[in-house]
Structure 1
């Protein structure tokens, strides 16, 4: 790490907050700096990324900001490929101020158009073979980066019985949980997704809640590690984010709200278990939306349930819904075969 990067370490180091006697949260300013730094360091060491080189990645949010901060301090050119439905003007300006070139691919379906973004990325790599692609969705380096988080959790909190985290690439939950299970083999891992994300077999469609879920299936999502899956709609996540700020002084984003909602429920149901929830994002990026009363006024009233509805069959739900499905450490293909035998790619709405 160069001297110019010392200030970045605080962004990727969580502070731990106790939300209940048996519930603690790892609260990040910018969690994605942890895997971004790990991946760039190893690319440099292996020669995949040369001095003054070019980096390209597909991202819809904070991984892009993290890699842009690193690229700026280390002198790399950077291209970030996103979807027109995802990139907000404030974030785009921040990325461009850091020197990144931001490519926004049309997204007529509103699902993030991950396939279109990857097509653009692959064409760029064909024309520029020396470009480094971190491959946050599929590279095992993403998961391996979270050994540091597992170490910080154990040093700060001791025994962990349950780990709760949102899933987008799969890196943070499956990486941290994998290392923690080396110490605590009975550790429960609860994945938090959102409706119309294909990660756990739902039909793909337009998602309101962003920062979790996906319209492609990353290799880093290790289904066989997961005990339970919760699908949280946008409104419950927004409401919990407000509650974190009001009750605990934690100004976090809606992804963190979704994770905290599920973590708090599990902790209530299991008062003897030590539960840790990963909260990856602060709320500043969402000050004009999730924390803006005028923006929220355009949404429905908030009939927020304190309990998830247990599903017997995987299906999408309304944005006020919170649903749960016992996954029981099975493969995705094994779970889907119990219903209709379709593949995730075939499940479209």
Structure 2
């Protein structure tokens, strides 16, 4: 594969605002690129905490396709600058959804055909919208016996790279440009909120958690980074299992995950994320899907348990629209037994990710790279 202090108290929860700075992206006047970045923040207390406690949500769903618009545009732009991606060459990538929209955007702006490899678990709207924007979708038929759907997708990516001479893959799990893309988001948060004590991020490729934390830590060295993963994900040392939730978690070990930056990790189960996303919709209107529900659940617990005045920022990667057939579909949720269970007020605790296999909301403060230093993380696709 290719390359791989002083605060003035917590404001009222109804206040949402944008910065006026421009995102650090190439200047494309009068194009949709101007809609990427400068997303608002919203203070959220209920239903997770009682004012004045709460957390600030960075609403990345205000980007055209979600948070990964930033990464897609940056990775494509840097590859073009270095000559790795030549004009008109195809872009080929594996995706479970949001990155595909970002790459479709980059393809339209820069004139590249885009080929997206996905699997049958992708929501219908996420199949149709990239195609509407000109991308070609390739759906794998069955999971790989060891690496699951992600491994199967990467193998198809390798086939397509061989099929299309000159094609280029962002390799988002291992591409450092995926991390660098989020420095602008860190700068936006600093402009909007000032010093931040705790940053809560979902973890999938590891890009936005690493990039935002590094940017914020330059101003606030004591920043605590809290990772949010899904049960059945192997990123932090749990065994890989079939996963219902999309957008967070992984069955491979991305090199972009900055294990040393995390103060703790929480694993969240699908029913808990559904409860959280739906409560957000009822009480705050601003909501999202699996990642947003999981992140809000964890950020709310931190707001309840940390000293009053702790400034907590939580990244909401996208909005609710792609989840109308899953998280917000009663028939789907009943079929997967996702309704009727209220999450506990506190997570379970484990001393080590290797102590047991977790199946519900669980917290661990011992975070380390689960692979020995001699093991090279790979996508499984041939280079």
User: Counterpart of 2:329?
Assistant: 292
- Structure 1 residues 344 and 239: CA distance shift in structure 2, 3 A: farther
User: Counterpart of 1:317?
Assistant: 358
Candidates 271, 276, 279, aligned match of 1:240? 276
Alpha carbons 2:228, 2:265 under 8 Å: kept = yes
Which has the larger share of helix? Answer: 1
User: Counterpart of 2:238?
Assistant: 202
Alpha carbons 2:228, 2:268 under 8 Å: kept = yes
Alpha carbons 2:255, 2:377 under 8 Å: kept = no
Question: For residues 272 and 223 of structure 2, what CA distance do their matches in structure 1 show?
Answer: 26
Q: CA deviation at 1:121?
A: 1.6
Q: Secondary structure at the match of 1:57?
A: strand
- Structure 1 residues 18 and 179: CA distance shift in structure 2, 3 A: same
- Structure 1 residues 288 and 119: CA distance shift in structure 2, 3 A: closer
- Structure 1 residues 112 and 331: CA distance shift in structure 2, 3 A: closer
Q: CA deviation at 1:78?
A: 0.9
User: Counterpart of 2:193?
Assistant: 157
Q: Secondary structure at the match of 1:199?
A: coil
Q: Secondary structure at the match of 2:154?
A: helix
TM-score when scaled to structure 2? 0.82
User: Counterpart of 1:176?
Assistant: 212
Q: Secondary structure at the match of 2:216?
A: helix
Alpha carbons 1:39, 1:134 under 8 Å: kept = yes
Alignment of 1:214-229 (within 5 A): 214-229=250-265
Question: For residues 27 and 225 of structure 2, what CA distance do their matches in structure 1 show?
Answer: 36
User: Counterpart of 1:302?
Assistant: 341
Question: For residues 344 and 165 of structure 1, what CA distance do their matches in structure 2 show?
Answer: 22
TM-score when scaled to structure 1? 0.89
Question: For residues 276 and 80 of structure 2, what CA distance do their matches in structure 1 show?
Answer: 40
Question: For residues 299 and 170 of structure 2, what CA distance do their matches in structure 1 show?
Answer: 30
- Gaps in structure 2 of 5+ consecutive residues: 1-25, 46-51, 379-383
Measured on the aligned residues, the alpha-carbon RMSD in Å equals 2.3
User: Counterpart of 2:11?
Assistant: none
Q: Does 1:331 align with 2:369?
A: yes
Q: Does 1:267 align with 2:303?
A: yes
Question: For residues 63 and 210 of structure 1, what CA distance do their matches in structure 2 show?
Answer: 12
Question: For residues 243 and 4 of structure 1, what CA distance do their matches in structure 2 show?
Answer: 39
Q: Secondary structure at the match of 2:75?
A: helix
- Gaps in structure 1 of 5+ consecutive residues: none
User: Counterpart of 1:23?
Assistant: 55
Q: CA deviation at 1:3?
A: 4.4
**When the two structures are aligned, how many residues end up with a matched partner?**
335
Question: For residues 168 and 144 of structure 2, what CA distance do their matches in structure 1 show?
Answer: 29
Question: For residues 318 and 77 of structure 2, what CA distance do their matches in structure 1 show?
Answer: 23
Question: For residues 284 and 311 of structure 1, what CA distance do their matches in structure 2 show?
Answer: 35
Q: CA deviation at 1:7?
A: 2.3
